[in-house]
Every structure is written in structure tokens, then in C-alpha cells.
Amino acid sequence: MTTIPAYHPVSAPDYLPQKQLRELQSQRLQRMVKRAYENVELYRTRMTEKGVTPDDIRTIDDIVKLPFTMKNDLRDTYPYGLFASPLNEVVRLHASSGTTGKPIVVGYTKEDVDVWDEVVARCLVGYGVTDADIVQVAYGYGLFTGGLGLHGGASKLGCTVVPISGGNTERQLMLMRDFHVTCVGCTPSYFVHIIDKALQMGINMRDFPIKFGAFGAEPWSEEVRHYIEEQAGIKAFNIYGLSEICGPGVGAECCFQDGMHIFEDHFYPEIIDPATGEALPDGTEGELVLSTLSKDAMPMLRYRTRDITTIDVEPCACGRTIRRIRPIRRRSDDMLIIRGVNVFPSQIETGILRVDGASPHFQIVLDKGPDGLDRIEVRVEATPDAVDDTVASVEQFQKKIQHSISQIIGLSVKVTLVQPYTIGRSEGKMNRVVDNRNK
């Protein structure tokens, strides 16, 4: 049976009566749109093109009048073009991979960081975490939002934070045991790896005092949840977010583990038809569109996440009034999430073609290694100009391409040269990716 965790004041907005929530959303949207229109050229131009002014936005339902924002808009305005605050008010920058070499940059004011901490704290409260918990943050720290995001929320709640960051799995296990860690945050695939490492070392993670896992940044299945919960004797919770909106903490599961509540007093969710852009009613599957309602440094109006999901029509058994989305398993673009890192096939193509004599015919094959981590192999057709018949020349060429791709995506890859004309040609959209990870 699921026990509902004790109430915590930080989560008060999760329970606002519908009418009050809508009023708050309407007020905040009006302010956000005005701020974006007055301070960000891209928003002003787009709204003018659509014939909309801030005066047309009176209630939250008017949101559909606004133009969409896309990942490319962040790239095109790199680095600060979407900022609505002067840089002296911006206290933090983060970045995530864009579709080409340049990352996309996001900024936060002091107040934005406070909101971020608050929503992540609300995620943790939903799981049942309290200030008595010891939270090991095994998401990467740095420009990636995962580490500092979870760190801020756990600190806000008053937890004891262990900021170990990702990697060094033996040390992760040692600290979990020695520090009596009760909550771990990392990507679900990294936690599966930690479990496997423990098994190899003859450690039974069920003997550890860990109770909660905050797992996100990539899609995962109920089967993985079951595996983690059985092997480690913990409850595994989903956490969702994206850098463009704030990072982790846009939404999270509650103790019922049945869909993720979106903190819609700060991030307003809509579902649209990805082909036409038409708004769809709750209960229909489509692309999730999010608008920030309080983000000062970088307002996001109707950001197209490319994540495919459904907004639940049923209220949740936990009593929260904020709506839930179903777990995200698919995207409407070709972005891949490999070990929690966003990778576009176009980046791999760029990496290959930067090497003299490389051919543009390639295929990406993804699978899981014996350690449970994602593996990526890029098969590239050899060209007679680039290699001769010797093993050394093939190996050297593979290494060059490998290095060039890794420079762009920040992950190590295996590159294999294959015979010319062995990779399928297509007249329409090429399917360059073979994903064997969930087989």
C-alpha cells in the first residue's frame, strides 16, 4: 500500500483549488508576456507578425494566441539573445547541446534559482524525502542542469547533500554505504550500472539504507523501474525537466508513481499536434509545449519540447490539483538521449565530415554494454581515397573520425569502417539510427 508522505509547506502550490491556480497562472502569464515583449526582440517580432500584443493576453486560455518557440531559436540567438534581464541580474548560466556545434545557453536570476530550488524540493517532498534524508547527487555537475538542479532542491529542503557528481562507481558505492545515504539522484541507466557494479563486487544494495531514487534526464520503462526497485530495495521515482525551462524539476511523480505532476504554477503545459501545431484537449497524445510563468532572466513562451506525452484527465489519488503527464518515451524529432546526453544525428554527420576523405554514408547503432550503459557505434563507409588495404590505415582513419565526433558530442564512440555501398540508401528521409537498447 502507498503511504502518503507528511505535508510540507513548500508543496502548498501543489494543492491550490483549480480556480485559484488558474487566476495565478493568468496573472503570471500576463506579466511574463509583457516582460518578454518589452525586452526580447525575437518575441516582439514574432508576436507582431501574429498580430498579438501583451494586451491580448488576459487569461491563461489566451496562451494559444502566442507564437511557439523552438530549440533553433535558442541557437540562433546564441548566447544571450533571449535574455529579458540585464546580465548583472543573471547569476547563473547553464548549457545543453544544440543541434550543431554551439550549445544552447540558459540564464537564471537569483529569483529564478530560488524557483528552481523550490520546484525540485517539491519533487522530493512528493517522493517522501524530508530534511532527515541524506541525498547523494550522482548527476553530473557543471553546465548540465542535473547536478546543481537536484543539489539546490535537496538543500532547500534541508537534506544533507553529498555532491559527488557522476562517475567513479566504486566510490559512489562506498559513500552510499559509509554516509548512510537514503536518497540517490542520477540517470536511471547510471543507477542500473551502479547495481551491476555492486553485484560484481559482491555487495547487496538491499542492505543499504537507500529508500528513494530520483531518476530522470532520459526515457526509462516500467521494466527498468521494477529491476531497480527489486535489486536495490528502493522506490524509484521519475523526475522530468529540460534546460530550456529550468532543468530538472519541471515535473515529477508523487508517491503513487503514476504519471508526473507538472508544477504548473510555474510551467504551463499544453499538448499540440506536432504536425499542425493545433492545441489538443487533455487526454490526447501529442507534443508537450511548456511556457514559463515566472522565469525572469529567460522567459520561454510556448516552447516546443518535442517530447510526446498525454496530460491526464483524472485527478491523482495524492490530492494534488496540478495536472500530470504520462511518462515520456518518444520524441517528435530525431534527438537521441545517450547516457543522459542529447545527441542529434546531424552532429555525428558534422563530426564525420570534418575528417578529410570521409564519406557521408553512415549509420548509428545504439545498444547497452555488459555494464548496462548505453553504447554508441558509428558505421561509416570507407572511401578508396582515405584508406588503403592495411589494418593500420583503417584503424588510424577510424580513430580520426572517433576523435572528431567525440569533440562535438562529448561522449566516446566506437567508429567502424564498413565496405562501400553496404549502408542502405534512401530516397526519402534516411533512417540513420538503429536503436537496440530496449531489446
If one asks whether residue 145 binds ligand ADP (CB under 6 A), the answer comes out as yes
Contact 109, 91 (CB under 8 A): yes
Going 142 to 9 to 182 to 215, the CA torsion angle's sign is: negative
How far apart, in whole angstroms, are the C-alpha atoms of residue 177 and residue 203?
A: 10
Residue 383 CB neighbour total at 10 angstroms: 14
Which region among 44-52, 80-88, 237-245, 266-274 touches ligand ADP (by CB under 6 A)?
237-245
If one asks whether residue 294 binds ligand ADP (CB under 6 A), the answer comes out as no
If one asks whether residue 219 binds ligand ADP (CB under 6 A), the answer comes out as yes
How far lies 432's CA from each of 360, 373, 386, 406, 415, in Å? 11, 21, 22, 18, 15
N- to C-terminal Cα separation, the chain: 32
Place of cell 545504439: 366
If one asks whether residue 52 binds ligand ADP (CB under 6 A), the answer comes out as no
CB of 359 to ligand ADP, least distance (A): 30
If one asks whether residue 240 binds ligand ADP (CB under 6 A), the answer comes out as yes
The correct pick among 318, 322, 378, 415 for binding Zn ion (CB under 5 A) is: 318
If one asks whether residue 325 binds Zn ion (CB under 5 A), the answer comes out as no
Site for ligand ADP in 149-178 (CB under 6 A): none
Which region among 22-30, 170-178, 212-220, 352-360 touches ligand ADP (by CB under 6 A)?
212-220
Which region among 254-262, 267-275, 369-377, 415-423 touches Zn ion (by CB under 5 A)?
254-262
The correct pick among 105, 137, 254, 293 for binding Zn ion (CB under 5 A) is: 254
Which region among 7-15, 106-114, 204-212, 320-328 touches Zn ion (by CB under 5 A)?
320-328
If one asks whether residue 92 binds ligand ADP (CB under 6 A), the answer comes out as no
Give the angle subtended at the CA of 256 by the CAs of 205 and 243, to the nearest 5°.
80
Contact 325, 288 (CB under 8 A): yes
CB under 5 to 8 A by kind: which of ligand ADP, Zn ion, none does 254 bind? Zn ion
- Single-letter residue type at 252: A
Closest CA to 217 of 244, 255, 186, 260: 186
If one asks whether residue 328 binds ligand ADP (CB under 6 A), the answer comes out as yes
The correct pick among 26, 85, 109, 243 for binding ligand ADP (CB under 6 A) is: 243
Q: Which is nearer to ligand ADP, 338 or 355 (CB)?
A: 338
How far apart, in whole angstroms, are the C-alpha atoms of residue 242 and residue 267?
A: 11
**Count of residues that interact with ligand ADP, criterion CB under 6 A:** 23
Q: Which three cell numbers stand for residue 63?
A: 496562451
CB under 5 to 8 A by kind: which of Zn ion, ligand ADP, none does 146 bind? ligand ADP
Q: Based on the number of CB atoms within 10 Å of its own CB, is 314 exposed (0-12), middle (13-18) or buried (19 or more)? A: exposed
CB under 5 to 8 A by kind: which of ligand ADP, Zn ion, none does 103 bind? none
If one asks whether residue 292 binds ligand ADP (CB under 6 A), the answer comes out as no
CB under 5 to 8 A by kind: which of Zn ion, ligand ADP, none does 231 bind? none
Which region among 84-92, 117-125, 215-223, 384-392 touches ligand ADP (by CB under 6 A)?
215-223
Establish how many alpha carbons lie within 13 A of residue 230's alpha carbon, considering only the half-sphere containing its beta carbon.
7
Contact 325, 310 (CB under 8 A): yes
Q: Which is nearer to ligand ADP, 123 or 378 (CB)?
A: 123
If one asks whether residue 305 binds ligand ADP (CB under 6 A), the answer comes out as yes
If one asks whether residue 287 binds ligand ADP (CB under 6 A), the answer comes out as no
How far apart, in whole angstroms, are the C-alpha atoms of residue 336 and residue 349?
A: 14
Site for Zn ion in 103-162 (CB under 5 A): none
Q: For 202-292, where are the alpha helices, taking DSSP H only?
A: 222-232
Query: Is the previous residue joined to 281 through a cis bond, with omega within 30 degrees of 0?
Result: no
Collapsing DSSP to helix, strand or coil, 96 comes out as strand
If one asks whether residue 69 binds ligand ADP (CB under 6 A), the answer comes out as no
Three state DSSP letters for 306-329: EEEEEECCCCCCCCCCCCEECCCC
The number of residues in the chain equals: 439
161: β partners = 135
If one asks whether residue 316 binds Zn ion (CB under 5 A), the answer comes out as yes
If one asks whether residue 217 binds ligand ADP (CB under 6 A), the answer comes out as yes
Residue 44's contacts (CB-CB under 8 Å, 6 or more residues apart) are 36, 37, 38
Q: Which is nearer to ligand ADP, 217 or 358 (CB)?
A: 217
Q: Which is nearer to ligand ADP, 219 or 372 (CB)?
A: 219
The correct pick among 70, 91, 279, 337 for binding ligand ADP (CB under 6 A) is: 337
How far apart, in whole angstroms, are the C-alpha atoms of residue 143 and residue 106?
A: 10
Which spans of this chain sit near Zn ion (rule: CB under 5 A)? 254, 316, 318, 320
Which spans of this chain sit near ligand ADP (rule: CB under 6 A)? 96, 144-146, 216-219, 238-243, 247-248, 305, 307, 328, 331, 337, 340, 342
